[in-house]
Chain A
Amino acid sequence: MNNTIANLKIGESGIIEDFSLDVIPLSLLEMGCLPGKEVKLLQVAPFKDPLYIKVNGSHLAIRIEMAQQIRITRL
C-alpha cells in the first residue's frame, strides 16, 4: 500500500485511479477529486493529518483515512 495520496511526500504528485463511492464520499468527487486527475500534496499538518492537496484546480484538506483510500499512480 504505497500508492495512495497518504504516501505522497510534500510537493509530489500522482494521477488518481478509479475508485468506488463505497469508500470515497460523493462530496469529494463533486469537489473535483476525479479519477484520471492529477493530485499534488502541498502541506501536511502535524502527525501527517489532515493533508492539504491540490486536485483538478481545487485546494482541499482531507483526513488521512480518506487519503489512504485514494489510490494513485505516481508521477
Chain B
Amino acid sequence: MKKKSVVNIALVGNPNTGKTSLFNQLTGLKQKVGNYPGITVDKKLGTCKISEKLSAEIIDLPGTYSINPNTLDETIVLETLLNNDGDSFPDLVIVVAEVENLKRNLLLFSQIKDLQIPTILAINMEDQMDRKGIFIDVEKLKKELKSEVVLISARKNSGIEALKKEIENYTDWNTDPISNISDKIDPAFFKEIETTFSEFSVYKTWLLITQQRNCIFLSKELQNKINAFKTKNEIIKKYQHKETIYRYQKINEILKETYKVNRSEGSDLRAKLDSVLTHKIFGYIIFASILLLIFQSIFEWASLPMDLIDGLFAHLSELAKNNLPQGVFTNLIAEGVIPGIGGIVIFIPQIAILFLFISVLEETGYMSRVVFLMDKIMRKFGMSGKSVIPLISGTACAIPAIMASRNISDWKERLITILVIPFTTCSARLPVYAILISLIIPNQRVLGVFNLQGLTLMGLYLLGFAAAISSAVLLHNVLKIKSTSLFVIEMPNYKLPSLKNVFYEVIEKTKAFIFGAGKIILALSIVLWFLASNGSSAFKNANQFVTSQVESKELSEIALKKKIASYKLEHSYIGTMGKTIEPIIKPMGYDWKIGIALISSFAAREVFVGALATIYSVESEGEDVGTIKERMAAEVNTVTGEKRFNFATGMSLLLFYAFAMQCIGTLAIVKRETKSWKWPILQLTGMSGLAYIIAVIAYSILS
C-alpha cells in the first residue's frame, strides 16, 4: 500500500464512550461541520497532525451500538463505512471503546474489523481503571483481536501520542476479519452469497442484504440484484440473531483471558444518584427546577448582551448612513444588510445559553434520566421521552430542535415531535411579544410580586406548550402510522461535564444556527428592503404626483416630504402586497401596514418588528421620531381614530404569532427531515389557519 500524506480517519464508537472528547482532543479548534452528500446529517470534520509527514482529516461519525442502523444518524455510519468510492471513506478507523463497557463496545469493533478496513481500538477512560479495579492485558488483546490496541484517556490527554504513533504505521496493520460468521450461521446460504456477488466481500454483501432501505451509493442495477436476493424477513432476522449471539460468544472468550474486574457489584454513587434523580416525586421536582433555571437564565442572562447587540447595530447602521456616500448602495447597507445581520446576531446569546445547559446535561448523563422520567407521559401525547430535549430546544429555535429529533427511532413519534415543535415559543417570537406586550399591557404589579407584563409573557409560553401538546394528541389519533415501539436507551454512568466538550458543542450549535437560519433571515431582510424602496409607475412618479396634489394647500417642506414618503410606501411593491391582503387581515384588526409586516415575517417572525421599523422609518423620512415603540404607539387607526395598536389588535397579533407557522427555515428543514412536502404544507396551513381563526375571534370579542 502506498503511503499518503493526508489520511481519512473515521471515529466510530458507542454513545457515551468519550468519542467526542477524543475528537476534540485530536482536532482542537480545527473543526468544521459539513454535509453528507444527498442527506443533511451534520458531518463533523476536523484536521489533525499525526506526525511530521502525515496529517489526517478526521470524521466524527454519530455514536452507534452496531453498524445495523435504527436511526438516520446510524445509517450514516453504515453508509460511510460501506461506500469505498465515497469522499468520506476512511483509510483507517479508530473504534473508541470505554473500559467499563468494553464487552458491548467490542461488538461494534468486531463488525467493523470484519469489513477489513484498517482498524485500531482505542480504549478510553484508562484513568478510571484503578479506581474501578479493572485490569486489561493489552498485549494479549492485540493478538486476539488481530489489531492494534491503545489505552487512552481523552480527558486527561494521555495515550494520545501513542495512538498517533500507531496510526503512522496504519498501512502495516492486519486487516484480516476476526469473525467467521458464515460457518456459524448457515454455510450454504453464505456460499450462495459468495458465488452470486463478486462485487463485495461476503460480510459486506450480507450487511447490504439485511438493510431495510436502499443504500444511496449502490447502482440501481446492484441494488436490484441485492433486493432480488433478499429472502424472507424471518430468515434474515434469525441469522442476525445468530450472528449477534456468536459475536458475543467470541468476545466473551477473548475477554475471559484479557479483562479482569476486581470489585464489588456496581458503583454506589451511581445507584445513589439514580435513586434521587429518577425518583417518582423528587425526580420530577428536580427536572422542573432545572427547566425553570434554564428559562430564567435564557431571559435574565441574555437580556444584557441582547440590548448591547441591538444598540450596536443601530449605531452601525447610523454610522454607515452618515459616512458612506449617499446612494442606493449605502441605503442597502444601512437599511438592509446591517439590520439584517443584527437580526441574526441578537439571538446568539439565548441560543448559546440554551445549548450550554443542554450540553452540560447531556455530558453528565442526566438527559437519559429525563428521557426515562418523561417517556410514559410523552407517550400519552403520541411522542417519546426522547421528544423532551427537542421540545426544550424549540424554545431557542425550531431548526436545531427538529434536527435533535433524529435519535427518536420510532417514525410516528418522531414525526409528531417534528410537527409540533414550531408551536413552542422560539426566541424569534420574543421581540414580537416584547414590543406588543409593552404597548398593550400596563407595566404594573399584581399581588405585589408579579409583573403583569411578565405574566403575560409566561402565559404565551404556556399557550405555546399547550398548543404543542394538544396538536400532538390530535395527530396521535389521526395519523395512521404503525408504531414499532422500539425504545431502548442506555443509562450512562454519571460524569462531570468536560468544559472543553461543552465549549465546542456550544460553538458548533451556535455556528449552525447563524449559517443555517441566518442566511435566510439576512437574504429576506435585503429582499424586504428592495420591495419597500422600489415600486411600479405610481411609486416612481410619487414626487410629481404628491407635489401637484398639494399645490393649492399650504404645506411645510417637512409635511410635504412626509406625504411623499407615505405615498411612496403605499405604492411600493410591498405596499401593493399589503394592500392586496388587507381585506383578508381586516377581520383580525390589521391594516395594510401591519399586513406588510405580516408578509415579511412569513420569512422569519422577528422580521415583524424590523419590518414595522422600516415601514415607519421610511414614512418618517429624515425626521427623528424616537424608538419603534413610540412610533407604534403614535400610529392611529384611520377609520376609528383610535390608536392602531390598541388592546384588541395587540391581543389579536399576539395570538396570531403564538400559533402561526411563519418561518421558511423551519419549513425547509421539515421538508428535508421528513423527505416530503406534505408535512411542511400541513404545518403551514394547519398552524396559520388556526392562528387566523383565533385572532379573528379574539379581535371580534375584544373590540
Contacts and interface: CB of A to CB of B under 8 A. Distances in A.
Nearest to B490: A60
B489 A60 contact: yes
Interface in A1-30: 20-22, 25-30
A52 B375 contact: no
A30 B65 contact: yes
A32 to B, nearest CB: 5
Contacts of A59: 490-493
Contacts of B493: 59
A30 B241 CA distance: 9
B447 interface: no
Interface of A: 20-22, 25-32, 34-35, 42-43, 45-47, 49-50, 52, 54, 56-63, 65-66
Nearest to B247: A30
Given A61-B371, A63-B375, A31 B490 contact: yes
Contact of B485 (A21, A26, A65): A65
B51 interface: no
Given A42-B274, A49-B376, A58-B104, A25 B68 contact: no
Interface stretch (B232-240, B474-482, B558-566): B232-240
A45 B385 CA distance: 12
Size bracket, chain B contacts: 35 or more
A47 B66 CA distance: 31
A45 B489 CA distance: 14
B688 interface: no
Given A31-B490, A63-B487, A26 B368 contact: no
A27 B376 contact: no
Contacts of A66: 485-488
Contact of B104 (A22, A26, A31, A50): A31
A52 B372 contact: yes
A4 B373 CA distance: 22
21 contacts: A25-B484, A26-B237, A26-B244, A27-B70, A27-B409, A30-B66, A31-B490, A32-B103, A32-B104, A34-B244, A42-B274, A43-B278, A52-B278, A52-B372, A52-B491, A59-B491, A61-B371, A61-B491, A63-B487, A66-B486, A66-B488
Interface in B479-520: 484-493
Interface in B259-275: 266, 271, 274-275
A45 B274 contact: no
B322 interface: no
Contact of B107 (A25, A30, A46, A63): A30
A31 B237 contact: no
Contacts of A58: 101, 104, 490
A41 B487 CA distance: 17
Contacts of A63: 375, 485, 487
A58 B107 CA distance: 13
A31 B103 CA distance: 10
A21 to B, nearest CB: 4
A62 B486 CA distance: 9
Interface string B326-367: 000000000000000000000000000000000000000000
A29 B241 contact: yes
B368 A61 contact: yes
- Most B CB contacts (10 A, CB to CB) among A20, A57, A61, A63 go to A61
A30 B489 contact: no
Given A50-B372, A52-B278, A63-B375, A57 B68 contact: no
A27 B71 CA distance: 11
A65 to B, nearest CB: 5
What are the 8 A-B residue pairs with the smallest beta carbon separation, nearest first? A21-B237, A59-B491, A30-B66, A21-B241, A61-B372, A63-B487, A49-B376, A29-B244
Nearest to A64: B376
